[in-house]
Amino acid sequence: MTLHWSARARVARFAAIDFIAQDNPRAALGQLDEIEKQTDLLSQNPGMGRASGPGRWHARLSSTRQQCP
């Protein structure tokens, strides 16, 4: 399965990373790496998410409190 980020989700993801980077750039990079790792898992295992409409899935990432619209 190919994961497609909505424009809103992309903006929110990078805004969160930028916010974290203001205090701790290393933590921001670690968080970005973790998001990428978890979304790769979702792509390989779509059953981890839940359907929210035709061709749309939401998933709670283990290390974040955001959802991927």
Q: What is the DSSP letter of 13?
A: H
The encoded tokens of residue 1 equal: 């399965």
Query: Which residue range forms the structural domain that includes residue 25?
Result: 7-58
Length of the chain equals 69
| 38 inside domain | yes
Higher pLDDT, 3 or 50: 3
Higher pLDDT, 20 or 43: 20
| 24 inside domain | yes
| 29 inside domain | yes
| 54 inside domain | yes
Residues 27-37, mean pLDDT to the nearest whole number: 93
Angle at which helix 25-44 crosses helix 7-23, to 10 degrees, equals 150
| 52 inside domain | yes
Q: How many domains does the chain have?
A: 1
| 19 inside domain | yes
What's the pTM value of the predicted model, to 2 decimals? 0.65
| 47 inside domain | yes
pLDDT band at 25 (very low <50, low <70, confident <90, very high): very high
Q: What share of the chain is helix, strand, coil (3-state, %, to 5)?
A: 60, 15, 30
